[in-house]
Amino acid sequence: MERVTLSRRKRPLSNEVCDRIVNDYIANGNVKPGSLLPSEKELTAKYDVSRVTLRAAIKSLHDRGLVSVRNGVGATVLPRPPVSSKIVHHLERLASLDKAASEAGKLLETEDLKWGESIVTPEISTKLRLPVGDPVYFVQRSKILDEARIAWTIDWLPTTIIDLDLIRSEFKGSLLDALLQHSELELNYADLEIVPQILNSEIAEHLGTPTGGPVLYLDTVVYGAAGQPDIWGQVWVLPEHVRFFIRRHMQF
Amino acid sequence: MERVTLSRRKRPLSNEVCDRIVNDYIANGNVKPGSLLPSEKELTAKYDVSRVTLRAAIKSLHDRGLVSVRNGVGATVLPRPPVSSKIVHHLERLASLDKAASEAGKLLETEDLKWGESIVTPEISTKLRLPVGDPVYFVQRSKILDEARIAWTIDWLPTTIIDLDLIRSEFKGSLLDALLQHSELELNYADLEIVPQILNSEIAEHLGTPTGGPVLYLDTVVYGAAGQPDIWGQVWVLPEHVRFFIRRHMQF
C-alpha cells in the first residue's frame, strides 16, 4: 500500500490517483486495450484512498476517453487512437502542435519568427474583446519538420496580460506552452474553429508551397478562468504532415 | 427544496443534478456568462443532495466546459461558443450533423438514400476489424439544407450488430441517431479524423457542386462499450454551410 499524496500544485487527490493509474497500468501497456483494470478493492488498497476518491479517479479516466465503465463489470481499457508516422494532433486537448510533435518523438523548428505590436482591427476586436485601434501584441512564425514547412502561425494577445519581453525570453516555439507556464494567467480552455481552405498565395508563400492545395485553418481563442479571451491564434497546417483527431464522447 | 430523483435510465444522481443546474441556471441565461452560480449551500438545499453529489455535478459542468471553478470563489458560468447563421457542429460531442442542425432550428433533408450489402475491402477491414471479403452493410445519402446539398455521407457497419431492415425502418436521416436509440449496442465514443480536401469529381458530383473547392472530410469510427468498432462513417461537408467547433480543455 502506497499512500498517494498531493504534489505541490493544488489539485484534487482523485486527479493524482487518475494519473497514477495511467502510469501504472495504461501508458506502459500493463493492461492491454479490451482488458479490465484491477478491481476497486485492489486499487483503493494499492493507493490507500477511499472508494469515493477512487471512483472520481475512474470517472476522470472515463472522461479522458481511456476506459469504459460498466456497473458490476469494472473499467475496461479502451484502444488508443491510431498512431501514424505523421504528427498526430488530438484537438480536444488544449496542447500545442509542438507538444504533439514531441510526443511523436519529433522536433518542430521555428523560422521567420517575428514579434511586435500592432493595432486592434475589427476582427481582432471580435476575438479578443479589445477596442478597435488599441495596441495589441502579435507573434508570427513558420513551423518546420524535417526541413519541410508544415505550418504558418500568428498569435495575437492583449498588451495587458503579460510583458512581451518576458514571454519572448521564455518562448521555445509555442506561445501557448510559454503562457501555460504562467499559472497566474489561469488559462482554462479554448474554442477552436476548423476550416478547410485552399492555399492562397499569401499562406503558400509563408509555407514555401505552390498555391491551390488543401490546408487546414485552425482558429483558436484561449480563455482564462474568468472567461476573458487571452490569446487568438491563427494556424494554417499542411495535412501531408499532420493528422488531426478528436475523441468524441456522448454528452448533453 | 425539491428532491432530485433518478429517471428510469440508470445514471448517476450527480448527472441528474448537473442537468438540472444547466436547465435552471445556464441554458435559460438566468446566470449570465461571467457570473457565479449560487453557493454550494444553496444548491445542496435546493436539490436536497449531499455535498459530495453536488461537487460531482459541478465537476461534470466543468468537464462539459460550462463553468470554471475556483476554490473559495465558486463556479463561474463560461461564455457559450460563438453562434452563427450556419449550422454549428461541436465535434467533441458524439452527435450527428442532423442533430446539430435541429439545435440551430434547421431541418436537414436526405436525398439519394441507398442501403445495401457490400464486401469488406482492406480499408474497411482496418476500420471495422472485419475479415476482407466478408459481408458488410452500407448506407449512403446526401444531406440537403434549404435546397442546397451540404454533405455526402457513407456509413459502414458489421452485419452482426443489428438487423438492416429494423434499422432502415427506424432511420430518420442519421444512422448514428438511429443506433443510439438501441442502448443494447452500448455505443460509447468515437475517434474522428479531420482532413481538409479539395473536391474531386466523385464527391463534387454527389454534392452537385463544381470540383476544386475546399471540403472537410470527417472519418469517424464509433466504438461500443467493449471497445469494438461498430460504425465507420465517411462524411464530406461543404464549409459554406457548416462551422466546426471544438472546445479544447487542459488535460493529460
Average pLDDT rounded to a whole number, residues A144-153 = 94
Which of helix, strand or coil describes residue A208?
Answer: coil
Half-sphere exposure at residue A231, Cβ-oriented, CA atoms within 13 angstroms: 29
pLDDT tens, residue by residue, B187-218: 989 999 999 999 999 999 999 999 999 999 99
pLDDT, chain B, mean: 88
| Whether the Cβ atoms of residue B17 and residue B54 lie closer than 8 Å to each other | yes
Closest CA to B127 of B27, B222, B225: B222
**B191, A93: Cβ pair inside 8 Å?**
no
* Separation of CA A202 from chain center: 27
pLDDT at B10 over 60: no
**Which residue ranges make up each domain of chain B?**
13-77, 87-245
When CB atoms are compared, the residue of A71, A91, A216 closest to B196 is A216
Q: Is A239 on the interface with B (CB under 8 A)?
A: yes
Would you state the CATH architecture of domain B13-77? Orthogonal Bundle (1.10)
Q: Is B119 on the interface with A (CB under 8 A)?
A: no
pLDDT at A252 over 50: no
Give the pLDDT of residue B11: 62
- Alpha-carbon distance values, B251 to A189, B75, B119 (Å): 10, 19, 40
Give the pLDDT of residue B8: 40
The answer to whether domain B13-77 and domain B87-245 are alike in fold is no
Q: What is the CA radius of gyration of chain B?
A: 21
What secondary structure does DSSP assign to B190-240, as a single string? EEEEEEEEE--HHHHHHHT--TTSEEEEEEEEEEETTS-EEEEEEEEE-TT
Residue of A nearest to B55 (CA): A56
pLDDT at A9 over 50: no
Place of cell 486527479: A15
Which of helix, strand or coil describes residue B118?
Answer: strand
Which CATH number describes the domain made up of A87-245? 3.40.1410.10
pLDDT tens, residue by residue, B37-59: 998 899 999 999 989 899 988 88
Give the pLDDT of residue A37: 92
Q: How confident is the model at residue A6 (pLDDT cuts 50, 70, 90)?
A: very low
Q: Is B1 on the interface with A (CB under 8 A)?
A: no
pLDDT at B79 over 80: no
pLDDT tens, residue by residue, A32-59: 888 899 988 999 999 999 898 999 888 8
pLDDT above 90: percentage of residues in chain A: 56
Average pLDDT rounded to a whole number, residues A55-72 = 80
Which has the minimum average pLDDT: A149-158, A185-194, A205-214, B56-65? Answer: B56-65
Q: Which of residues 73-102 of A touch B (CB under 8 A)?
A: 76-79, 81-82, 91-95
